[in-house]
Amino acid sequence: MLETSRLILRQWQEKDLQPFAELNADPEVMKYFPKALNRQESDNVVARFMAMIIANQGWGFWAVEMKTTGEFVGSVGLAHQPDRFDFSPCTEIGWRINKKFWGKGIAKEAAEASLAYAFNVLHLPEVVSFTSIHNTPSAKLMQRLGMQKQTTFLHPALIADHALAEHVLYKISHENFIDSPL
């Protein structure tokens, strides 16, 4: 479990399934993903996240909740990508936040906690993040986190002419990460 001034990043619980499914079904939240997810697909994502956190490495994409209210915010965390991309092996950071919390610094706060974990606990040399070239809000967050644009690439899970296939890759090294007071 990770804590910030406003957030708790923790293992997934049964109570997270419904709000996560609602988030994954929201066309605005899923605008830069190939499709919105139905309940079963969303639950399968949580099952993979839980397996990653518990069974595999002890960390991954955490459920995020507001510290004061316990309200589910979304998911933020890390994923090891051993061989999926041309730039693999790597560890990526990503986020999926309920639009109710957009523009409040929640994603940045949770991402900073995840980066601190990546660098100070896991001692990773660098972390990457990527998104569709059309997803300027996420790219701007990557920049606010201190990540530097590296290149563009075609996402291997999408056909080359898919509207979201072209992605931008950002990276931050341990040396360039500045711990912010959480």
Which two structure tokens, joined as six digits, stand for 57?
């490495």
For the chain, the 3-state helix, strand and coil shares in percent, each to the nearest 5, are: 35, 30, 40
Quote the pLDDT of residue 181: 46
- Interval 69-95: pLDDT, tens: 999 999 999 999 888 999 999 999 999
Mean pLDDT (the chain) is 93
Contacts of 141 (CB under 8 A, 6+ apart): 95, 107, 108, 111
Helix (H) or strand (E) holding 118: helix 106-120
pLDDT at 132 over 60: yes
Determine if residue 176 is left, alpha or beta; phi over 0 gives left, psi from -120 to 50 gives alpha, anything else beta. alpha
Quote the pLDDT of residue 9: 96
Q: Which residue has the tokens 């997270």?
A: 16
Total-model pTM: 0.92
